[in-house]
């Protein structure tokens, strides 16, 4: 029997799984409920195994994956496959988080492999200490080439990385000076990749010949490092890159910037990042709590995440459905609802294209500033894509996940029959449960009234029932509520 408190627990758990993952199938939700909220948070935060993605199989059978470039030249297919199939969803969601924050595109690098490797790096280090993440990022070959640090020399600095690590990756505008940028750039001189000239030429010429796409490797050139004294954010010494990161990370502005990004991504939409210096956070106390967690844990990202998921500000009703789903969340969440995909099929590539059609080309951000999210995701073209994509998948009653949803709707009645109103309510319940406005509920029920009482006592009526269920499910995911997480 569903009690009131049980129903509230269920809604909260569904909220957690939408935010810390990509939403839940009814079976996943049942399992989470049997674990309990705090235990579920702990499991999400501490994945104890690698998710099982058969790369060798994929590489042998799908040339477009194995080259890590999809049909449109986009290398996102292999990551998309993992996003859909993973059983460690928070770890994968953190990869999306860092990809948004440290947006790097194969557009400039021309090669997909280094960007895919960068995502692998996020998977490995993304829930550890922020200092370590920034050091790994500064050594990441894709990032080095993306922001030209191979051209940052002791004798002649290139400020690109020095600027962005302060502005976009750690502190935000207004918390450092132009001199800090130059001095930070000096600290990162000599942080390059193996054979940068050859790889730059290849990058610019965009040819696979003669040796195909190479695996880029980080290389620190001490000869090319500026060993002079530098002053970064008021601290003077013979600083190298690791020192710059250490100085940046102990700064409160860094903690606040990271806290606001995490809040924006996991709790509720904030305005676009460039507006942050001018606009107060939506919930300043939540930001304070996250800043405290940052310092108390020694800059540990996992501790900040734990603070979020176990806090009242996260559990509050006011932040439920307060984020517009990114295209990746929309696509991955919907695909996961429909059941598993075959690694040898083209479904992951199609999902990458669907994402791109909705405005988020994974591994191909519009600029170094990434995606701002929020209402930026929504325009008419994207909307048609979102509605049609989700509808098409939910309507496919051959998919195992959709069959399961329908069977669960049927299981809500013992008499093999239900009224059309009950039918709509049951469909909403198995989808999340998805809470909808009064207007939506009325619209759905008006539509479903054409079915009258539904039954599934024999094969013919059961087939009709499944078809009706497909229609209602696709209509539900066409609604504005399904756009929100």
Partner 1 sequence: MGEKKLVAVQLSGGNDYLNCIIPYDNPLYVDNRQHVRITEDRVLDMGGGLGMNPVMSGIKELYDEGKVAIIHGVGYPDSSRSHFRSMDIWHTAEPTKLGAEGWLGSAINQMYPAKDNVVAAVNFAGLLPRALAAPKAPIASVSDLDTYGLMNHVDNSERDEALLAFKNIYMPAIGSGLVMDYLSQTGLDALKGSGIIQKAREDYKSDVEYSDDNFSKQMRAASAIIQADIGSRILYTQHGTFDSHTNGIALQEGVLANVSTGIRDFYSDIKASNKGDDVIMFVFSEFGRRVKDNGTGTDHGAGGVAFVIGDSVIGGQYGEYPSLEPHKLSIGEDLSFDIDFRSLYTEILEDWLETGAQDIVKGQYEKIGFLRN
- C-alpha 267: how far from its chain's center? 13
Nearest approach in angstroms of CB 353 to partner 1 is 7
Does residue number 334 form part of the binding site for partner 1 (CB under 8 A)? no
Degrees to nearest 5, angle at CA 384 with 379 and 388: 145
Decide: is 214 part of the binding site for partner 1 (CB under 8 A).
no
Which residues in 297-326 contact partner 1 (CB under 8 A)? 324
Our finding on whether 31 is near partner 1 (CB under 8 A) is no
Rounded least distance, CB 64 to partner 1, Å: 15
Candidates 383, 413, 462, 464; binder of partner 1 (CB under 8 A) is 383
Judged by CB under 8 A, how many residues of this single chain contact partner 1? 58
Instruction: Give the tokens for residue 316.
Output: 């509050």
Q: Where do the H-state alpha helices sit in 128-240?
A: 130-139, 141-146, 160-167, 178-187, 196-205
Stretch that binds partner 1, among 7-15, 137-145, 277-285, 372-380 (CB under 8 A): 372-380
Closer residue to partner 1, CB minimum distance, 94 or 475 = 475
Q: What are phi and psi of 441, to 5 degrees?
A: -60, -45
Q: What's the length of the chain?
A: 485
The answer to whether 20 touches 93, Cβ cutoff 8 Å, is yes
Q: Which two tokens stand for residue 194?
A: 């193996």
Within 10 angstroms of residue 470's Cβ, the number of other Cβ atoms is: 19
Report if residue 398 touches partner 1, rule: CB under 8 A: no
Contact (Cβ atoms closer than 8 angstroms) between residue 359 and residue 327: yes
Choices 34-42, 60-68, 355-363, 416-424 (CB under 8 A): range interacting with partner 1:
355-363
Q: DSSP readout, 171-203?
A: S-TTSS-HHHHHHHHHHTTTEEESSHHHHHHHH
Residue 23 vs 105, nearer CB to partner 1:
105
Nearer to partner 1, 36 or 73 (CB): 73
**CA-based nearest residue to 116, from 149, 71, 67:** 67
Restricted to residues 454-473, the positions that interact with partner 1 (CB under 8 A) are: 471
Is 366 a binder of partner 1 (CB under 8 A)? yes
Minimum CB distance to partner 1, residue 437 (Å) = 6
35 binds partner 1 (CB under 8 A): no
Site for partner 1 in 253-292 (CB under 8 A): 269
205 touching partner 1, by CB under 8 A: yes
Convert residues 77-116 into a mask of x (bound to partner 1 by CB under 8 A) and - (unbound).
Answer: ----------------------------xxxx-x------
For partner 1, which residue of 46, 340, 379, 463 counts as binding (CB under 8 A)?
379
Q: Which two tokens stand for residue 28?
A: 């996943």
Q: Does the protein bind partner 1 through residue 444 (CB under 8 A)?
A: yes
Residue 31's H or E segment, with its range, is helix 26-35
The CA–CA distances, whole Å, from 33 to 12, 13, 16, 165, 213 equal 10, 7, 11, 41, 47
Which is nearest to 2 in space by CA: 435, 11, 422, 405?
A: 11
By C-alpha distance, which of 166, 168, 192 is closest to 179? 166
Q: Is 73 in the site for partner 1 (CB under 8 A)?
A: yes
Segment contacting partner 1 (CB under 8 A): 212-220, 285-293, 333-341, 366-374?
366-374
Stretch that binds partner 1, among 57-65, 294-302, 305-313, 439-447 (CB under 8 A): 439-447
> Cβ neighbours of residue 112 under 8 Å, at least 6 residues apart?
67, 68, 69, 74, 75, 106, 213, 363
Interface residue list for partner 1 (CB under 8 A): 72-73, 105-108, 110, 203-207, 269, 324, 353, 356-357, 359, 361, 364, 366-369, 374-376, 378-385, 387-388, 391-392, 395, 437-440, 442-444, 446-447, 450, 471, 474-475, 478-480, 483-484
């Amino acid at each position: 029997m569903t009690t009131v408190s049980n129903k509230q627990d269920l809604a909260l758990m569904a909220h957690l799984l939408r935010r810390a993952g990509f939403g839940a199938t009814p079976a996943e939700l049942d399992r989470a409920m049997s674990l309990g909220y705090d235990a579920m948070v702990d499991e999400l935060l501490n994945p104890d195994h690698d998710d099982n993605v058969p790369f060798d199989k994929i590489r042998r059978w799908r040339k477009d994956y194995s080259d890590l470039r999809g049909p449109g030249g986009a290398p996102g297919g292999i990551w998309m496959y993992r996003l859909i199939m993973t059983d460690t969803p928070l770890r994968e969601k953190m990869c999306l988080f860092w990809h948004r924050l440290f947006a790097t595109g194969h557009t400039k690098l021309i090669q997909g492999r280094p960007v895919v490797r960068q995502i692998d790096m996020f998977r490995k280090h993304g829930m550890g200490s922020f200092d370590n993440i920034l050091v790994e990022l500064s050594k990441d070959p894709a990032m080095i080439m993306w922001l030209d640090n191979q051209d940052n020399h002791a004798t002649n600095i290139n400020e690109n990385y020095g600027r962005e690590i302060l502005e976009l990756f750690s502190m935000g505008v207004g918390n450092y000076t132009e001199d800090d940028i130059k001095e930070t750039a000096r600290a990162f001189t000599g942080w390059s990749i193996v054979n940068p000239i050859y790889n730059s030429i290849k990058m610019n010429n965009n040819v696979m010949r003669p040796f195909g796409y190479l695996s880029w490797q980080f290389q620190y050139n001490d000869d090319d490092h500026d060993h002079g004294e530098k002053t970064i954010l008021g601290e003077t010494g013979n600083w190298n890159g690791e020192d710059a990161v250490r100085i940046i990370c102990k700064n409160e502005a860094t903690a606040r910037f990271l806290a606001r990004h995490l809040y924006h991504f996991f709790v509720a939409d904030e305005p676009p990042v460039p507006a942050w210096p001018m606009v107060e956070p939506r919930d300043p106390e939540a930001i304070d709590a996250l800043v405290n967690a940052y310092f108390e844990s020694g800059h540990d990202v996992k501790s900040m995440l734990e603070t979020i998921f176990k806090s009242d500000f996260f559990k509050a009703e006011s932040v439920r459905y307060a984020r517009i789903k990114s295209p990746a969340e929309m696509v991955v969440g919907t695909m996961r609802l429909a059941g598993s995909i075959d690694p040898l099929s083209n479904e992951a590539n199609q999902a990458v294209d669907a994402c791109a059609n909705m405005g988020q080309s994974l591994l191909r951000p519009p600029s170094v500033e990434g995606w701002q999210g929020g209402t930026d995701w929504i325009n008419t073209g994207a909307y048609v894509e979102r509605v049609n994509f989700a509808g098409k998948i939910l309507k496919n009653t051959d998919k195992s996940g959709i069959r399961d949803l329908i069977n669960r709707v049927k299981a809500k009645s013992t008499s093999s029959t239900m009224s059309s109103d009950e039918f709509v309510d049951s469909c909403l319940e198995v989808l999340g449960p998805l809470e909808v406005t009064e207007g939506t509920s009325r619209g759905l029920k008006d539509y479903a009234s054409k079915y009258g009482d539904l039954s599934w006592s024999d094969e013919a009526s059961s087939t009709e029932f499944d078809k009706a269920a497909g229609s209602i499910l696709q209509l539900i995911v066409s609604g504005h509520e399904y756009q929100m997480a």
